[in-house]
Structure 1
Amino acid sequence: MTADDVTLVQERHGRVLVLRLNRPDARNSLTSGLIGEIQRAQVAAGKDDGVDAVILTGTDPAFCAGLDLAELGGTGENLMAVPDPDIPPGHRWKPLSKPVIGAINGAAVTGGLELALGCDFLIASEKARFADTHARFGLAPSWGMTARLPALVGRAFALRMSLSGDFVDAQTALRVGLVTEVVAHDTLLDRALDVASTIAGNDRSGVRTLLASYRRAERHLLDPALVVEQETSDEWKKTFDPSVVADRRSSVIDRGRDQVRR
């Protein structure tokens, strides 16, 4: 297996682990196999005493274009897989006791946006773009979109993103609170490593206690919303027709490319 065949690259930088989605020709879209790799890598990172922070990023040109549409429009395996009982509703991986930082290097779309929202906070390249295209495909989210997106950007802006499917650029994402910082594209990973290393250099117990406290404090808002989203998704899946995705795939991709070029 060559480096190009590895769909999730793992790199250690001191006490920081970088996980990099590596399907650049498919804009790092998520197959069922890659989803499993991410979940297993996060579990391993959670158990590794040598890791105090995780960075999730993508190989250029995208962060993650969402579920792999070829697989979704065929078997639908990346959407219909039986949930892991160890992963709570609306989460993409079993929650870690250490922070996960999203370094958003390009487009984060639909499932890719939900992947980003599963991180504790985001740092964006100037080339980052964000969109929720569930409505364009007639899909229902199940990875926390309807809970986490409004919690960050407010209900009205979240609804605008989800109902329109339009892209939001990095500076707008910063203005509405989706990301914490926008940096030059070539400096993104270095900046994320700087922040992660600062966190890793703090008192470990203090960091993990604070992180756990933040998460417990938000559960009374997020957990009920995540359960509602999961129930809605479960009902929707009973009528899901993969052929609809296949039929709409080209038009949705073309529309997205036109927006990103502007």
Structure 2
Amino acid sequence: MLQATESLADGQVLVSRGQGIALVELNRPEQFNALTLALLDGLRAALEALSDDPAVHAIVLTGRGKAFCAGLDLNVLTEDNSVLARDDFLGYDAPLMQAFARCCKPLIGAINGVAVTGGFELALACDFIYASEKARFADTHARVGLLPGWGLSQKLPRLVGINRAREISFTGDYFSAQEACDWGLVNRVFPADDLLESTLECARQIATCIPDTLEHIKAMMNEGWEDSLANGLAMEGQRSRAYNSKVDVSVMEERLAQLRARGKRS
């Protein structure tokens, strides 16, 4: 069971922990979880804290209500449109994007409803995505007159192919969770009532792995994805030799026995 919820950013971000996992919820359901500066800062603080928490081994990010995230709350721009030029708001080096990038725990996006523009970018910042059959995605940057600044223009083509990414971003059209799954953007699609529990169960399974090993594998994958295959393979070889040389082989028989038992159950 997940333990009592922690409230951040005046309740706009909720965090629950238990069983080696954490659930982070965007909590502006009446506004379709549209992003405020306070919510973004709360999300950053949550990811940083969970990354540093030795009791947490996997994280699920979702939205409360009918939406995952409808993007930036336009009231933010009405109050101060200079935010769009700030390097602490947009870009890979912005604190929120660095919190995603530096989070050493596996992070699963549970996309329960619409994930639009900035909300779509938050989904892409997760390590992988599960979606409700009711989820829909759209990149409407070109329709509202803004450029993506949280990685969408670079990540989306790498995930779905450049031609598909062009179609998504040039048209701004919505597409379904099943289409996203067919294109390799979403890993699995679930009935709406099953999404959260299925995603949490995946997180629980991840949490049964060796935490330190898991963190190293995540780091190797993420770094290699941003580099050439040749450099990635060289990096993997170097790190695996250094890491594996320190493994306590005496405990591996028990781990292998557990794996064999798990294979029989499945």
Shorter-chain TM-score: which interval? 0.7 to 0.9
Q: Offset at 1:73?
A: 3.6
How many residues align structurally? 220
Checking the alignment, whether the CA contact within 8 Å between 2:51 and 2:105 is kept in structure 1 is yes
1:147 has 2:173 as partner:
no
Within a 5 Å distance, the mapping from 1:182-221 to structure 2 comes to: 182-220=189-227
Q: Which is further off, 71-80 or 59-68?
A: 71-80
Q: Offset at 1:82?
A: 4.0
Residue 149 of structure 2 aligns to a residue whose secondary structure is coil
1:53 has 2:51 as partner:
no
Tell me the distance in 1 between the aligned counterparts of 2:79 and 2:38. Answer: 15
Q: Offset at 1:98?
A: 1.1
1:15 has 2:20 as partner:
yes
AA of the residue aligned to 2:84: L
Within a 5 Å distance, the mapping from 1:247-262 to structure 2 comes to: none
Residue 122 of structure 1 aligns to a residue whose secondary structure is strand
The one of 160, 178, 182 equivalent to 2:185 is 178
AA of the residue aligned to 2:214: V
Checking the alignment, whether the CA contact within 8 Å between 1:38 and 1:93 is kept in structure 2 is no
Summarize the Cα distance change of 1:34–1:141 in structure 2 as closer, same or farther, 3 Å threshold: same
Q: Structure 1 vs Structure 2: percent identity of aligned residues?
A: 41
The one of 122, 126, 151 equivalent to 2:133 is 126
Tell me the distance in 2 between the aligned counterparts of 1:49 and 1:72. Answer: 38
C-alpha offsets along residues 89-135 of structure 1, whole Å, 9 cap, x if unaligned? 69624221111110000000000000000000000001110000000
Tell me the distance in 2 between the aligned counterparts of 1:78 and 1:26. Answer: 20
Tell me the distance in 2 between the aligned counterparts of 1:19 and 1:77. Answer: 28
The one of 113, 116, 119 equivalent to 1:109 is 116
Summarize the Cα distance change of 1:48–1:77 in structure 2 as closer, same or farther, 3 Å threshold: farther
AA of the residue aligned to 1:173: A
The one of 23, 29, 36 equivalent to 1:31 is 36
Tell me the distance in 1 between the aligned counterparts of 2:21 and 2:223. Answer: 24
TM-score (norm 2): 0.77
AA of the residue aligned to 1:151: R
RMSD: 2.4
Q: Offset at 1:88?
A: 3.0
Summarize the Cα distance change of 1:124–1:14 in structure 2 as closer, same or farther, 3 Å threshold: same
Tell me the distance in 2 between the aligned counterparts of 1:177 and 1:33. Answer: 32
Q: Offset at 1:69?
A: 1.4
Checking the alignment, whether the CA contact within 8 Å between 2:87 and 2:93 is kept in structure 1 is no
AA of the residue aligned to 1:8: V
Checking the alignment, whether the CA contact within 8 Å between 2:41 and 2:96 is kept in structure 1 is no
Q: Offset at 1:78?
A: 5.2
Checking the alignment, whether the CA contact within 8 Å between 2:71 and 2:116 is kept in structure 1 is yes
Residue 9 of structure 1 aligns to a residue whose secondary structure is strand
Q: Offset at 1:10?
A: 0.8
The runs of 5 or more residues in structure 2 that have no matched partner are 1-6, 229-266
Residue 134 of structure 2 aligns to a residue whose secondary structure is coil
Q: Offset at 1:72?
A: 2.1
The structure showing larger relative contact order (alpha-carbon pairs under 8 Å, at least 6 residues apart) is: 1
Q: Offset at 1:83?
A: 1.3
Equivalent residue, structure 2, for 1:160? 167
Residue 30 of structure 1 aligns to a residue whose secondary structure is coil
Q: Offset at 1:14?
A: 1.4
Q: Offset at 1:216?
A: 1.4
